[in-house]
Amino acid sequence: MKIVLIGAGSAQFGLGTLGDIFQSEVLEGSEIDLVDIDAQALEKVRKIASDFLGTTQRPFELKAFVDRKEALKGADVVVISIEVGKRFPLWDQDWTIPQQYGISQVYGENGGAGGVFHSLRITPVILEICDDVAALCPQAFVFNYSNPMTAIVTTVKRKYPDLKFIGMCHEIASLKRYVPSILETPYENLALRAAGLNHFSVLLDASYRSSLKDAYPDILRKAPAFFEKEPGYSDILAYVQKGGNIVQTEGNDEHSFLSGTRSAKSWADRTLFKTILEQYHLLPITGDSHIGEYISWAWEVADHKGIKDFYQLYQMMLSQTEHKIGTKVHERLVYILEGLIGGSPSYEEPAVNITNGSLIPDLPSWIAVEVPAIIQKGEIKGIAFPDYPKGFAALLRNYTGVYDLTAEAILKGKKEYAIQALLANPVVNRCKEIPELVEVMIERQRPWLDYLK
């Protein structure tokens, strides 16, 4: 394979993904092309990876490019993990400026008004990458790790319906972290399937492999007691501020750390999570910060201190990323790549973001849904959920119009559609101030939003 990593100058993404690929015997002999617009950061990652290959004698070819077009020629796989501008200052604007206009959003990354602006800012850049993919390697599989995931995948697939563009997210890992402990059984004994929209998904099926018994009744019965004892983000932050260390576990995502303390209660960080569990009898795969971005009444029940503490912890975790190649596989991507080239039997991937079609019949066919998928040679086939729970499907449908209008705003460069995307947003409870809000955000983020006319 020729694998191109775009955004490889990020130590977390570049070194983490390289470490995973280097552990695979199936992918031996592959060419790995690193791409980043930051030449200095790119060279740092290239040197660390090159030294690792020299020491371990792993049979991979490594190249680095500032010009992605050079790297993309003849690529089999393209992996995208980028952000535009300075991540956290822009994120702060997405979060706080809409709040100044009276919009009650609990977070500002993927949903609500902040999620719309984030989508408007980053998706055009990803579309430019896809323009190059379509011209230089149209048969390549493209895996996207950038957020807002649903907006990006929906928009890309609207412009390029035949592009093999797949969204990947870490959030599904929460099932592996929590459900085995809730049920007091090894993860290998569980068959779990979740589906919905990215960061807006719930566990749908759970069973014990040993007995084939339905495990969901046990989850609903045991989860409250488990989360009463599990530390929340506020607990972890307090621990760290007292001198404790963040210990990373599986994956590279913002949720993958534990404080080492098990004494504090975490329901305070999961009051929306708890409401979903009680009212819909479904286990969310995300915490309040993410799922709360899409629900109009989330502001009333979410724990805002816990969300703020999570945001602070996330920044701390990224600042502590170790600049080295790992020796264990942390990302699921490597297993997908092995399956695609037929180097392993068909494999069920727990979560991909792909065009719905009829996978979740209660949602529009054009929306990007997050579902498990069967991976086999040359194919990624999503698993359908014809009996998706009606109550939660209604919440998902409430948000799909936002993605429709956001995609149109991006593809046609129309400010009018951006305004309408906000007016359709369940989290937006204002009308008169919305055009002014859009003008303010365009002014603040002009390098990325001035295409809106």
pLDDT-based confidence at residue 329 (cuts at 50, 70, 90): confident
Per-residue model confidence (pLDDT) at position 342: 84
Looking at residues 189-200, what average pLDDT do you find? Answer: 98
d(C-alpha 249, C-alpha 336), whole Å: 21
375-397 pLDDT per residue, tens: 999 999 999 999 999 999 999 99
CB 183 within 8 A of CB 209: no
Tokens 């992918």 appear where?
A: 27
Give the model's pLDDT for residue 253.
Answer: 43
pLDDT for the residue numbered 250: 40
State the CB neighbour count (10 A cutoff) for residue 371: 24
Q: Which among 126, 195, 135 is positioned nearest to 158, based on CA atoms?
A: 126
Tokens 């999620």 -> residue: 115
CA distances from 389 to 209, 360, 364 (A): 23, 10, 16
> What is the spatial distance between Cα 380 and Cα 371, in angstroms, rounded to a whole number?
11
Residue partners of 30: CB distance under 8 A and separation at least 6: 1, 2, 3, 21, 60, 61
pLDDT at position 246? 57
* Greater pLDDT, 80 or 315: 80
Q: Rounded to two decimals, what is the model's pTM? A: 0.94
Q: Which domains does the chain have, with CATH numbers?
A: 2-169 (3.40.50.720), 173-319 (no CATH)
Distances (CA, A) of 437 to 99, 160, 194: 10, 31, 36
Selection from 389, 370, 170 nearest residue 277 by Cα: 389
pLDDT of 271 reads 84
Please tell me the distance from the alpha carbon of residue 20 to that of residue 214, in angstroms, as a whole number. Answer: 34
Distance CA 1, CA 252 (A): 24
The mean pLDDT value for 209-213 works out to 97
Position 241 scores a pLDDT of 76
Answer whether residue 25 shows pLDDT above 90. Answer: yes
Angstrom distances, CA of residue 113 to CA of 104, 124, 152, 366, 424 = 9, 18, 16, 22, 10
Alpha carbon separation from 248 to 233, 257, 331 (Å, rounded): 14, 4, 14
Positions annotated as catalytic residues are: 170
Q: Are strands 379-382 and 368-376 parallel, antiparallel or unpaired?
A: antiparallel
Q: Which of 107-111, 187-191, 310-314, 435-439 has the lowest mean pLDDT?
A: 310-314
pLDDT for position 261? 40
Considering the chain, what percentage of its residues have pLDDT values greater than 90? 77
Per-residue pLDDT tens digits for 275-293: 999 999 999 999 888 999 9
User: CA 160, 164, 170, 175 torsion: positive or negative?
Assistant: positive
Average pLDDT, the chain: 91
What's the mean pLDDT in 81-103?
96
Q: Which residue has 């996330």 as its token pair? A: 314
Comparing 416 with 328, the larger pLDDT belongs to: 416
- List pLDDT tens digits, range 407-436: 999 999 999 999 999 999 999 999 999 999
- Per-residue pLDDT at 258: 42
